[in-house]
Amino acid sequence: MSQHLYSLSTVFVLGLVFGMGPCTITCLPFLGPVFLAKQGGLKQSWKIILPFSLGRLSSYATLGALSGMAGASIQKMIATPAVAWFLGGATIAVGLIILWRTYRRKNGCGQGRRSTLQDNPLLPSGLFFMGVGMAVTPCAPLTTVMITSAATGDGVAGFLLGLSFGGGAVVVPALAFGVGMAYFGQRIRQIMYQWRTSLERASALMLVFIGGTTILG
C-alpha cells in the first residue's frame, strides 16, 4: 500500500514538474488565441480551462489504464500520424467555431441577448478534444508513466497512475492560463475594443493555421 502511494505521489510530482515548463509552453499556441478571442476575463476563464483540462486528464488516465492492462507500454501505438491529425483537427474546429461566431454576430443572429463565445455549445467539446489530443502527444514524462503502469500489470493501478500524473500536469497550466492569460487577454480586448471582431478573427485563423501545421507535422 505504501509503495503504491509512493508511486502515485512520484508521478504526480513528475506531472507537476512537466506542467511547470514544457507543458505550459506547448499549450500556449493552442490556448492563447482562444483567450484573446473570448469575453469575460478571469470570471469566465474556467469555461475554457475546465473542458481542456478534463480532456487531458481523460487521456492520461486512459493511457495509464491501457498500459496496465496490456502489461506493456503502448508508446508505439500512440506514436502515429493519427495523433497529429486528431489534435490538429480539434484545433481547427475550435478556430472555425470562433470564426463562425464573429460572422453570426455580424449578421444579427441571436439579437435580443448578449452573445458570447461561451454561448456556443460546440466550444467545450472542441476544447475537450483539443486537450485529449494534446495529452496523447508522445513525450518522455508520459512514456515514464506508461512504463510504470505497464510494470503493475493492473489496469486500475495504471488508471490511477495516469490520473495522478495528469493531475500534476494540469495544475500549473490551469493557473497560468486561467489567471495570467485570462487577465492579459481581457486587457488586450479592452485596449483593442474597436477592433475586437478583427482580433477574434485573427485568433481564429491563428488556431486554424496551428491546427494545419500540427497535422502536417
Assigned C-alpha cell, 58: 481523460
Q: In the structure, what pLDDT confidence band is assigned to residue 2 with cuts at 50, 70 and 90?
A: very low
pLDDT, mean of residues 20-42: 80
Taking Cα atoms as reference points, which of 51, 94, 84 lies closest to residue 205? 94
Per-residue model confidence as pLDDT tens digits over 131-176: 999 888 877 888 888 888 988 888 999 999 999 999 999 998 888 8
pTM of the model as a whole? 0.81
Q: What is the Cα–Cα distance from 83 to 146, expressed in whole angstroms?
A: 17
Per-residue model confidence as pLDDT tens digits over 78-89: 767 888 898 999
**Domain boundaries of the chain, sorted by first residue:** 2-106+115-215
Q: Kindly give, in sequence order, each residue whose CB lies less than 8 Å from that of residue 202, ignoring residues fewer than 6 positions away.
A: none
Contact between 118 and 127 under an 8 Å Cβ cutoff? The reply is no
Which run of H or E residues covers position 215?
helix 196-215
Assigned C-alpha cell, 210: 496551428
Q: What is the Cα–Cα distance from 215 to 82, expressed in whole angstroms?
A: 9
